[in-house]
Every structure is written in C-alpha cells, then in structure tokens.
Structure 1
Amino acid sequence: MQTEIVIQVAFLLLTLGIFLSIYNLPKKALTKLRSSNHRAAAQSNRHFLRGAQLLSRARSTRNRPASLSLANDALAEADKALALQPRDPAAHILRGLAQDLLGHKSSALRSLDAALSPPSVKLLSVGEKSDALVKRAEIQMAVNRRRRIDSAVSDLVEAVALTRDNVKAFCLLGQCYEQKRMWAEAQKAYEEALKIEPECLSAREGLGRARS
C-alpha cells in the first residue's frame, strides 16, 4: 500500500513537472524573441542614425563628388537598417532621400512608397507622414510633371490636411494647380502659404502668376 502511494506521488510530480515545462516554454521563447528583436532594433537604429548624419553632410557639402560619396554611404547604412528592420518607415525614407540626392528618382519614389504603405506608415507620426508625402510629391513632379501631377496633388492635399503649417506643401500644391490651369485653387494654395510665411518669395511669385 505504501509503495503504491509512493509511486502515485512520484507519477504526480512527474506529470506536474512536464506540465510546467510545457507551460513555461512559450514564455521562454517569447522572452528570447523579444531580446532578439530589441538587439535588432538597437542595431538598426545605429545604422539609421549614422545614415542620417551622412546624408546631412552630403547635403551641406558643396563638393559634388564628396556629396555623392556621402550619399552612397548613407544609402548603404539605410540598407543595413532595413535588413534588420524591413518595415521601418524611417529607414525607407532615409533610403529615398539618399537616392533622390544621387539622382535616382524612380528608386527614391519606390522607397517612399514603401514608407507610406501599410503596415510601415502606421509607425510614422502625423508630421513625419506629412513630410514624406510632400517629398514624394516633389519627386513625382520632377520625374514627369504631366503624368504624375494628379498623384502629386493627391499627396499634397493629404499632407496639408495633416499639418496646416507646411509652407513648402502649399507652394508645391499651387504649382501643381498651375500645371492643371486651376487658377483659383492655385491662388488659394499660395495664399495659405503666405499666411504661414508672409515673406515667402516663391508663394508671392506664384500668387502673382495665379492672379494674372
């Protein structure tokens, strides 16, 4: 009788041990995954910050070959960041800005498209999304004014709906409306720009054209 009790207790302890092992397994796996994700995010952020610094230097230098070299280095850092965090919209935007500086307009548009598409776009703040929309519109206008003008208008209308203090967005919107010969809309866009920045020369010149 005593032997049977011992066996039952041992069996119960063994069952309990197996249950606890199974119960704790997902938790341990999740903890390990979180730790891995944290390391990847930290490393991705380091590449992004270095890329942003390189891009800033590329924009500020007057030496064209040096600027292109720095832009290429910034692009490489953006690619490293995206290899670790493929959905990071900031890295996609950095990549697009570097490509734009290098003159790769179509590639820059694809990078900005990636940043502004789900699920990446959900990680952008309102201001960041507005700025990315404005940049995409600017490149669309540079690539092919006629074919992409409607897409640029759509981006700019959304951008100014998100933030009403973006002078560049209103000026670009005015230029788009001028291309479409929508003079009343162009005039309104330039007037909005001047409300924000009364001394904005491009808005003043655009308003003059729209009124004439």
Structure 2
Amino acid sequence: MAFTDAAIQVLILIFAVAMVIAIQYFPKQALTKLRTKNRASLQSNRHFIQGSALKALESALSSPRVKSLEGRERGDALIKRAELKMAVNRRRRVDSAIDDLKEGVKLSGEGERALCLLGQCYEWKGMREDAKWAFGEALKVQPGSVEARNGLDRLGLQ
C-alpha cells in the first residue's frame, strides 16, 4: 500500500511539472489569435451600442421632450451626444458635435472634458485659434488638465 501511495504521489508530481512546463511554453500567438478573433465582433457591438445611445439621446433632445430637461441636464446631454457623434463617425459629424459642445458648455457650465473635446473638434477642422481658445479655457477650469496641455502642445502653443 505504501508503494501505491508513493507511486500516485510521483505521478501527481510529474503531472504538475508537465502542466507548469506546458503553461510556460504555451505559444503567446495562440492567445493573440483568440483575442483578435473576438476584436472585430467587440468593435461592432460597441459601435452598435454607441449608435443606439446616440439615437436615444437624439430622441431625448427632440423638440417636445427637451422642454422637460433643465438647463444643466440638457447641457450634459448635448455634451454626451457630441462625444457619441465623435465616437461613431468622427469625420461626418464634427460640425454638429461642435454645435452641441458649444451649447452644452453654455448650459452646463464650463467642464474641462467638454472644452477639451471642443478643442479637438476645432483642431480636426483646422481652426487653430478656436482650438487654442478651447484648450486654454479647459486649463482655466482644470489647471492640471493633461489633455488640454497635450492639445496646446500639438498646436505648438505651449
């Protein structure tokens, strides 16, 4: 009986060592392939969800419903809608995102995040002076804003 116990323990030890070796030398490429297969479906799901959220915000900001929102709520919704517009289709929606951000900043108070996004929109449109203003305003609101400083650096203004 002692021999069988020792044999079982040796087999378990050999199995454990084999597992450690297999895990250590398991090719990373196999894991990468698994991740990249799911990446396309994850991106399409995220795009679909962002599009749905954008439609919901557009519905909430439509004429009859917008009257039920207070100024700050409406401003926050406009800022969120601009963020989603830029995430879903940046090139086509920059102009309407700028309109939403300008109105949103007026209504909800000057938020650093909204001003930085406004600066980025201006930057993409080639409106350097407006971008400089937006990033500068973001720094006034949040002096330690890394995003605003990076924006000014990209523009060569700091």
Contact 2:47–2:88 (8 Å) recurs in 1? no
- Paired residue type of 1:171: C
The answer to whether the 8 Å contact 1:184/1:210 transfers is: no
SS at 1:161 equivalent: helix
Determine which of 137, 145, 168 is the counterpart of 2:90: 145
> Aligned residue for 2:80?
135
CA distance in 1, matches of 2:136, 2:119: 9
Query: Of residues 149, 154, 167 in structure 1, which corresponds to 2:112?
Result: 167
C-alpha distance after superposition, 1:55-94 (max 9, x if no partner): xxxxxxxxxxxxxxxxxxxxxxxxxxxxxxxxxxxxxxxx
Structure 2, gaps ≥5 residues long: 1-44
Partner of 1:123: 68
For 1:183 and 1:152, how far apart are their aligned partners in 2? Answer: 17
Structure 1: 5+ residue runs without aligned partners?
1-99
Displacement over 6 Å in runs of 4+ = none
Alignment of 1:1-212 (within 5 A): 104-211=49-156
How many Å apart are 1:182 and its aligned residue?
0.7
**Counterpart-to-counterpart distance in 2, 1:104 and 1:132:** 17
RMSD: 1.7
Compute the displacement of 1:211 (Å): 3.1
CA distance in 1, matches of 2:149, 2:87: 22
Q: TM-score, length-normalised on structure 2?
A: 0.67
The amino acid of 1:145's aligned partner reads R
User: How far apart in 2 are the matches of 1:163 and 1:104?
Assistant: 25
Paired with 2:111 and 2:132, the residues of 1 have a C-alpha distance of 16
Shift of 1:163: 3.1
- 2:37 equivalent in structure 1: none
- TM-score, L = length of structure 1: 0.50
